[in-house]
Amino acid sequence: GSVPSFGLPSFAVPVRGPYDPYGLGSTTFSTTASEQQQSDVISYAGNNDPSRVWLPEVVHHFAGYLSGNELACTLRLVNKATAAQFRGPQYATVRLSLQVPHHAFAWRWGGGGATRSLTVRQRKQLPCLTARSGNIANLGVLLAQADPTNPLEGPVMVAAASAGQLEVCRWPRQQGCPLPKDMFDAAARAGHKAVCEWLLDEGRLVHEGAAFAAARGGHAGLMDWLLARTAGAQQRDDVHLLIMVAAGCDLPALQRLHHPYIDGLPKG
């Protein structure tokens, strides 16, 4: 079909309803008198018709510059030929962790009972994936729903932090939401220094777990930055830190920390 389907990580949710503004899902088309007259004008224009540049090879070329969701929710709705050109499931599935055009998101998830077909687990995934996409307007659609899953809850902020979506992190905070305990670790492991800096500005103290998370994620520079700001650095668990560096970072980073640790061990 020409209408896109929305997918969560482990399942697809088919779109049902009137979201088909160009009649692409219809097998029959009605033509009014004005539309027939317009068709006659286009036929008369012949090669001067600017719509002739809408060639499949040209469309395929610039489609490569669109995100998968723009293609599924917008480009495929231009006309019937474009829908037929991009008819495979790889073009018709919307990945919610990526930016979703607001018109499509609001249509699918904005109506009453839009999440009724989802399991509880899937309802919890929906705002987290939307937070990862960085679209605050789409989170607002979910917030307006009478649904037990609140997009202002802690897991949503953690998801935003792990994706480096600083503005999405700020949005719940501006509405008085507390900062989740594992938000720092999520941002550090993914290497998002800007989110870590913001958390510091918000008064969240750096603990050594955040530096360990950065090391496990392979972000040696961020690890050093966090270690310099870690409360209680004198009681740092160097063995655990070395294990995390060995698991996530390169050999030079491990050697840089390993030699001072060995030299600091008691002799004899």
In this structure, the answer to whether residues 89 and 118 fall within a common structural domain is no
Domain boundary among 32, 66, 93: 93
Between residues 95 and 35, the one the model is more confident about: 95
The verdict on residue 12 lying in a domain is no
In this structure, the answer to whether residues 88 and 112 fall within a common structural domain is no
Evaluate if residue 58 carries a pLDDT over 50: yes
Q: Per-residue pLDDT averaged across 148-168, rounded? A: 90
- Say what the pLDDT of residue 42 is: 40
In this structure, the answer to whether residues 225 and 174 fall within a common structural domain is no
In this structure, the answer to whether residues 89 and 104 fall within a common structural domain is no
Q: Is the dihedral of CA 220, 130, 94, 76 positive or negative?
A: negative
Q: Per-residue pLDDT averaged across 7-26, rounded? A: 38
Contact 71, 88 (CB under 8 A): no
The verdict on residue 200 lying in a domain is no
Contact 161, 187 (CB under 8 A): yes
The verdict on residue 39 lying in a domain is no
The verdict on residue 33 lying in a domain is no
The verdict on residue 32 lying in a domain is no
In this structure, the answer to whether residues 104 and 129 fall within a common structural domain is yes
DSSP 41-93: HHHHHGGG-GGGG--HHHHHHHHTTS-HHHHHHTGGGS-HHHHHHT-SHHHHE
In this structure, the answer to whether residues 108 and 171 fall within a common structural domain is yes
Q: By residue range, what is the domain housing residue 220?
A: 205-267
Closest CA to 96 of 197, 15, 188, 216: 15
In this structure, the answer to whether residues 105 and 172 fall within a common structural domain is yes
In this structure, the answer to whether residues 63 and 127 fall within a common structural domain is no
Cα(44)–Cα(208) distance, integer angstroms: 74
Domain boundary among 63, 93, 123: 93
Which strands sit side by side in the sheet containing 93-95, from one edge to the other?
11-13, 5-8, 93-95
The model's pTM: 0.75
The verdict on residue 59 lying in a domain is yes
Domain boundary among 29, 64, 93: 93
Packing angle of the helix pair 120-133, 154-162 (nearest 10 deg): 40
- Say what the pLDDT of residue 3 is: 56
Q: Residues of the chain with pLDDT > 70: what percent?
A: 73
6 Rama sector, left if φ>0, alpha if ψ -120 to 50, beta otherwise? beta
The verdict on residue 141 lying in a domain is yes
The verdict on residue 248 lying in a domain is yes
Evaluate if residue 54 carries a pLDDT over 90: no
Give how many domains the chain has, as a whole number. Answer: 3
**Partners of 94 in beta bridges:** 6
**What are the pLDDT digits (tens) for 62-121?**
778 887 688 888 888 888 888 888 888 888 888 888 899 999 899 888 877 888 888 888
Q: Per-residue pLDDT averaged across 159-163, rounded? A: 96
